[in-house]
Structure 1
Amino acid sequence: MTAKAFDTEITETAEALIGPWRQPRQMLHAQTYDAHASIHDDATAQKLGFKGGTIEGPTHFSQFAPLGARLWGQGWFESGCLSAHYRNACFEGEEVQAILSKPPAGASQCQIQMVKRDGTEVLRGTASIGEPHAATALETRLTELKPLADPVILREVKIAQTSKRQAVRMAFDQTMGDLYPFSLRQKLAVITENSPYYSSADNPWRKPIIPMEMLSVLFQYRSKDDPLPAKGPAVGLFADQEIRLVKGPLFVDDAYEVEREVVALSGSRRTESAWVKTRVFDKTGTMVATMLLNMATLKDSYAPYEDEYRRLYGAGR
């Protein structure tokens, strides 16, 4: 008999599973990339129009884990998928709630949403398990993108660019670099939904497993060793993210390899976006997980943006 995955108090209605109100912790105040502070630093975020350092999007994935486990059991940890469009930033001290709408009979995919106390929507998307039988939220979103016109920051980034494979692992006390200046043990001390599955072998796989929000850290922490040829320094943020377990879970201190491919480029009034698909392989070469990430770079954070735009395209934007 293994431990129960979560003790989270879940409200169940005829239509949905609803988690408790939580206050996620911000652990990226000291994050740096391109030798400068990030959107998670209060001063940097305020210069760009945010009220403070934002909580990184995948932090919110932890609040959906008990809901997925309630709905799908062990299968959630082995082939679960969260696919989310981040709608509004969340800041430390704010309370948020995860809502999972029950799927139709026989379906393996459903809608998810996270809201603040005042009703502001933090994210929306889909949760699913197993082989995909319907397009996820981000697979659908990819078909609706506004193409990137007149790129400046991403002008040298091309679709189908693929990185070399990188070896990655996550131990309990391993600090995950400049991008993630904390360890798994430090995260587990403040994670919104903890589980004995994360810190002990008291689970069906007899090894500690990595929480879904920390899979984002594992997959990204060496990304700057083989970066995209984007112009900088500039500040980016996660605008969309999907993590899919193919043959999960992934385990603490196990060796993996990751490779990244640019699968789309898109743009908005404020951002230039590179959509990157990360594929993750175990030591046998089997693909065990994927991540689709829209890293949206803020045009206003790139100091020479207007000058370079005029030089490249002959007029102001």
Structure 2
Amino acid sequence: MIKVESAFTTEIVEKDNLLVGPWRSPKQMLQAQTYDSHASIHDDATAQKLGFRGGTIEGPTHFSQFAPLGERIWGRAWFETGCLSAHYRNPVFEGEEVQAQIEKPKPGQTVCEIGMIKRDGTEILRGTASIDGDGSETALSRRLGELKPLTDPVILADIKVGMKTPRQAIKMDFDQNMGDLYPFSLADKLKVITEPSDGYYAQEYNPWGRAIIPMEMLSVLFQYRAREDRLPVRGPAVGLFADQEIRLLRGPLFPGETYWVEREVVALSGSKRTESMWVRSTVFDADDAVVATMLLNGASMKDSYANYEREHKALYG
């Protein structure tokens, strides 16, 4: 059995006070994504209408580049209680190279600052990586405490903090197409993942005796049935991930295993261009134990909602 300390062959170098991964070119896999019967920000034509160069690569794709860094620092604990908490700053397009960086920790340090940049220095994301803890030390925990309340909502006019959704069963098999939101399978992703690992495939390669789901694909698993929630978001409108945190409590999670997820709206915020709904997903195993959580800021683009101005006037004069 290969030890988890050698789960990745990724080259990591020390640079000043950072551990730095290699430059990678993540693949765009969401060109065919649809929701509410329309194309998404990951479709070239839709993205260009909203002022982007083309279809953006989904944020959690970048989480894979931090996995070897987290493993280097914390070993097996990274796969069991690891957390990535990130504020997305700028989009990445297919063909661009990005690099993951993490603060070099002091002995016993369990929370480290992270960042990702493009070749030209453009910041892609910033946040924290951590293990253990109660979740209060993460980048998005801090960010939630600093949010300005959403004023004059239109797309989210009918959403209230505290709204919850019924618990849903979710599962990810290797060859399972993950639906309109994620029109590909785990097997498809593993063919192009930026940081491959034998631990994602066969039981003999890790301490848990079975293949494990990469952290970036936990986002796909947790969102698999999100469109069935029927939270009263007005639309259609194009959305994007602005902030995201995935936190393992009793990890890792496994392909073929059934889990259950429930969601709660924990905050509303906004900007000149967007209205944001912050949703915390709580994931349970068959024993009803909480195994993971995800905090996701889904930001809806005001300009993409055809009725925005008319409804704003009707609501607020």
Same fold (TM > 0.5)? yes
C-alpha separation between the residues in 1 aligned to 2:274 and 2:221? 25
Does 1:197 find its partner at 2:182?
no
C-alpha separation between the residues in 2 aligned to 1:134 and 1:230? 28
TM (norm. structure 2) is 0.97
Does 1:230 find its partner at 2:233?
yes
C-alpha separation between the residues in 1 aligned to 2:22 and 2:136? 29
1:22 aligned counterpart, secondary structure: coil
Q: Cα distance, 1:105 vs. partner?
A: 3.5
C-alpha separation between the residues in 2 aligned to 1:134 and 1:222? 27
The one-letter code sitting in structure 1 at the alignment partner of 2:200 is Y
Compute the RMSD of aligned alpha carbons. Answer: 1.0
Q: Cα distance, 1:228 vs. partner?
A: 1.5
1:257 aligned counterpart, secondary structure: strand
The one-letter code sitting in structure 2 at the alignment partner of 1:36 is H
The one-letter code sitting in structure 1 at the alignment partner of 2:231 is L
Would the aligned equivalents of 1:238 and 1:293 in 2 still touch at CA under 8 Å? Answer: yes
Would the aligned equivalents of 1:146 and 1:268 in 2 still touch at CA under 8 Å? Answer: no
Does 1:300 find its partner at 2:297?
no
Tell me the alpha carbon deviations over residues 214-234 of structure 1, each in whole angstroms, 9 at most, x when there is no partner: 000000010001132100000
1:40-79 superposed matches below 5 A: 40-79=42-81
2:143 aligned counterpart, secondary structure: helix
Q: Cα distance, 1:107 vs. partner?
A: 1.9
Would the aligned equivalents of 2:48 and 2:54 in 1 still touch at CA under 8 Å? Answer: yes
TM (norm. structure 1) is 0.97
1:107-256 superposed matches below 5 A: 107-132=109-134, 135-201=137-203, 202-256=205-259
Q: Cα distance, 1:133 vs. partner?
A: 7.4
Q: Any gaps of 5 or more consecutive residues in structure 2?
A: none
Q: Cα distance, 1:103 vs. partner?
A: 2.4
C-alpha separation between the residues in 1 aligned to 2:26 and 2:135? 32
Tell me the alpha carbon deviations over residues 175-219 of structure 1, each in whole angstroms, 9 at most, x when there is no partner: 000000000000000000011111111200001000000000000
Question: Identity over aligned residues, as a percent?
Answer: 68
C-alpha separation between the residues in 2 aligned to 1:13 and 1:95? 18
Q: Cα distance, 1:104 vs. partner?
A: 3.3
Choose the corresponding residue for 1:17, options 16, 19, 22: 19
Choose the corresponding residue for 1:291, options 268, 289, 294: 294
Q: Which residue of 2 aligns with 1:7?
A: 9
Q: Cα distance, 1:134 vs. partner?
A: 5.3
The one-letter code sitting in structure 1 at the alignment partner of 2:58 is E
Does 1:271 find its partner at 2:274?
yes
2:227 aligned counterpart, secondary structure: helix
Tell me the alpha carbon deviations over residues 126-182 of structure 1, each in whole angstroms, 9 at most, x when there is no partner: 000012375210000001112100010001111110000000010000000000000
C-alpha separation between the residues in 2 aligned to 1:160 and 1:102? 38
Q: Cα distance, 1:51 vs. partner?
A: 0.3
Q: Which residue of 1 aligns with 2:283?
A: 280
The one-letter code sitting in structure 2 at the alignment partner of 1:210 is I
The one-letter code sitting in structure 2 at the alignment partner of 1:236 is G
Q: Any gaps of 5 or more consecutive residues in structure 1?
A: none
Are residues 133 and 312 of structure 1, via their aligned partners in 2, closer, same or farther at CA, if it must alter by over 3 Å? Answer: closer
Q: How many residues align?
A: 314
2:192 aligned counterpart, secondary structure: coil
C-alpha separation between the residues in 2 aligned to 1:236 and 1:91? 17
The one-letter code sitting in structure 2 at the alignment partner of 1:172 is F
C-alpha separation between the residues in 2 aligned to 1:151 and 1:49? 22
Would the aligned equivalents of 2:86 and 2:244 in 1 still touch at CA under 8 Å? Answer: yes
Tell me the alpha carbon deviations over residues 27-67 of structure 1, each in whole angstroms, 9 at most, x when there is no partner: 00000000000000000000000000000000000000000
The one-letter code sitting in structure 2 at the alignment partner of 1:209 is I
Would the aligned equivalents of 2:136 and 2:142 in 1 still touch at CA under 8 Å? Answer: no
Tell me the alpha carbon deviations over residues 261-298 of structure 1, each in whole angstroms, 9 at most, x when there is no partner: 00000011100000000000000000000000000000
